[in-house]
Amino acid sequence: MNRVAITGAGSINSLGHSVKETLESMAAGSCGIGELSFRDVDRLDIKIGGQVKDFVPTTVFNRQQLSLYDRVTQFTLIAAKEAIKQSGITFSGELSARSGVVLGTAGGGVSTWDDNYRAVYEEGKNRVHPFVVPKLMNNAAASHVSMEYNLKGPSFTVSTACASSNHAMAQAFQMVRSGLSDVMITGGSESMLCFGGVKAWEGLRVMSKDACRPFSANRNGMVQGEGAAIFVLENFDNARKRGAEILAEVIGYAMSSDASDIVMPSKQGAARAIKGALIDAQLNSEEVQYINAHGTGTAANDKTECAAVADVFGKHADNLMISSTKSMHGHVIGGTGAIELLACIMAVKDGIVAPTIGYEEADPECALDIVPNQSREAKVDVALSNAFAFGGLNAVLAIRSA
């Protein structure tokens, strides 16, 4: 088994257009959630979200590219560029043949579906752009990354709703650890902040109209976000040999399925995934100092997640820190685990634990140290990142300071 290093990270989301901006915003406890702006937003009940602002696609991509790149692919390519540049790796020859890209997304090109349904149904058009299918397909982003960087190894997209990117990163980790690949590009992205994307979520009646306040007794639901985060996972020894900066080491993961309900989370399923990650990473529970929570801000998730953490960690649950950065960037659905891994990297690398902002009122059912409202300086050696998806599919990753 090989050790696995993270040697590159990139992101664009409502907190910033790069990892640096994102982490600065997280450390400052800034909120990226605000009023949504897109066509027909006035017909929505839910009018807030963590939207990427000040982003003008035409300044980054040319006309031909934009005819093929849905917003979700645009985010992915921007994040991939930053991550791969940081790693300093150029893919050619044998390295190229064995390196691939595994990404997570729940919805793929949602805006492309939305725009084109609108064209044929609402506007009565009988013709759509020839590239609708290659633009909306869930694997489009992964394929464009592979084409852009000459990645010819195992490449695919994982779709497990809100756990998509954690499942994707777990797959990529496993490939490097097992020696199947020396380098894998991984992470996830989502862009469903359009009329249809938000309207569908409204239907579930779990969305907040004002703010995402995970673990706070007065929380009233989740808030959607959008964006991408991409990482370069690399054989640790190779990374060290070539003198690359190692941001953190990925040390383990676990996946589990609740096998019980299509939307309600299960304490047992969540606990099995957390416990499984500790076992896979050969960790004693006392070694974990920080958990980036799934922390959606819904009643169902937050209570269940806190109970699962209390079950797995016992007394140590009161000593560790657990925060939900969704309070700042919103729930980025299939890309959320990737963006949240950035908070874990900041904790183990920079010793700054991102806060749960919007916290107003203690909830006895969520009585853990949720790092309320302000980030905290702390020495963190090991961090976990939780993701518990609709459909009961869970994936937890463990990282360690390098």
Partner 1 sequence: MDIGAKVIDIIAEQAILEPDDVTLESTLESLGIDSMGLVESIFAIEEAFDIQIPFNANDPSDGDFNISSVASIISGIEKLVAEKS
Catalytic residue, chosen from 212, 331, 344, 366, is 331
Give the one residue of 147, 200, 259, 263 binding partner 1; rule: CB under 8 A: 263
Q: Residues touching partner 1: how many (CB under 8 A)? A: 15
Is the CB of 218 or the CB of 374 nearer to partner 1?
218
Measured distance CA(184)–CA(280) in Å, rounded: 20
Amino acid 210 reads D
Shortest spacing between CB 385 and partner 1, in angstroms: 24
């006309």: which residue's tokens? Answer: 63
3-state SS, residue 290:
strand
Q: Are strands 248-257 and 4-13 parallel, antiparallel or unpaired?
A: antiparallel
Check if the beta carbon of residue 77 is closer than 8 Å to that of residue 130: no
Measured distance CA(275)–CA(284) in Å, rounded: 10
Check residue 268 for interaction with partner 1 (CB under 8 A). Answer: no
Give the one residue of 298, 323, 325, 394 binding partner 1; rule: CB under 8 A: 298
The piece of 79-87, 176-184, 198-206, 268-276 that touches partner 1 (CB under 8 A) is 198-206
Measured distance CA(29)–CA(79) in Å, rounded: 22
Is the CB of 259 or the CB of 263 nearer to partner 1?
263
Shortest spacing between CB 215 and partner 1, in angstroms: 13
The piece of 173-181, 202-210, 280-288, 381-389 that touches partner 1 (CB under 8 A) is 202-210
Check residue 327 for interaction with partner 1 (CB under 8 A). Answer: no
Q: Residues 149-188: x/- map of binding to partner 1 (CB under 8 A)?
A: ----------------------------------------
Give the one residue of 93, 124, 203, 364 binding partner 1; rule: CB under 8 A: 203
Catalytic residue, chosen from 162, 194, 212, 344, is 162
Indicate if 162 belongs to the active site: yes
The piece of 54-62, 81-89, 215-223, 282-290 that touches partner 1 (CB under 8 A) is 215-223
Check residue 204 for interaction with partner 1 (CB under 8 A). Answer: yes
Is the CB of 152 or the CB of 267 nearer to partner 1?
267
Check if the beta carbon of residue 195 is closer than 8 Å to that of residue 116: no
Check if the beta carbon of residue 354 is closer than 8 Å to that of residue 306: no
Check residue 205 for interaction with partner 1 (CB under 8 A). Answer: yes
Strand (E) positions, 177-330?
183-190, 227-235, 248-257, 288-292, 321-323
Binding to partner 1 (CB under 8 A) within 25-54 occurs at 45
Q: How far is residue 53 from each of residues 118, 225, 344, 354, measured CA to CA in Å? A: 24, 11, 24, 21
Is the CB of 214 or the CB of 276 nearer to partner 1?
214
Is the CB of 28 or the CB of 206 nearer to partner 1?
206
Check residue 364 for interaction with partner 1 (CB under 8 A). Answer: no
Amino acid 254 reads A
Is the CB of 221 or the CB of 276 nearer to partner 1?
221
Measured distance CA(254)–CA(269) in Å, rounded: 11
Q: Which value, in Å, is the radius of gyration of the alpha carbons in the chain?
A: 20
């934009």: which residue's tokens? Answer: 66
Per-residue burial over 357-371, b = 16 or more CB atoms within 10 Å of its CB, e = otherwise = bbbeeebeebebbbb
Check residue 294 for interaction with partner 1 (CB under 8 A). Answer: no
Which residues neighbour 272 within 8 Å (Cβ) at sequence distance 6 or greater?
254, 256, 394
Q: How far is residue 331 from each of residues 141, 146, 201, measured CA to CA in Å? A: 19, 26, 12
- Nearest Cα to Cα of residue 36 among 22, 46, 26: 46
The piece of 50-58, 64-72, 139-147, 261-269 that touches partner 1 (CB under 8 A) is 261-269
Is the CB of 127 or the CB of 205 nearer to partner 1?
205
The piece of 192-200, 219-227, 312-320, 385-393 that touches partner 1 (CB under 8 A) is 219-227
Give the one residue of 120, 259, 264, 279 binding partner 1; rule: CB under 8 A: 264
Q: How far is residue 401 from each of residues 11, 32, 353, measured CA to CA in Å? A: 20, 27, 13
């800034």: which residue's tokens? Answer: 30
Check residue 221 for interaction with partner 1 (CB under 8 A). Answer: yes
Indicate if 17 belongs to the active site: no
In sequence order, the β-bridge partners of residue 184 are 100, 233
Indicate if 294 belongs to the active site: yes
Is the CB of 188 or the CB of 265 nearer to partner 1?
265
Check residue 326 for interaction with partner 1 (CB under 8 A). Answer: no
Q: Which residues bind partner 1 (CB under 8 A)?
A: 45, 203-206, 208, 219-221, 262-264, 298-300
Please give the positions annotated as active site: 162, 294, 331
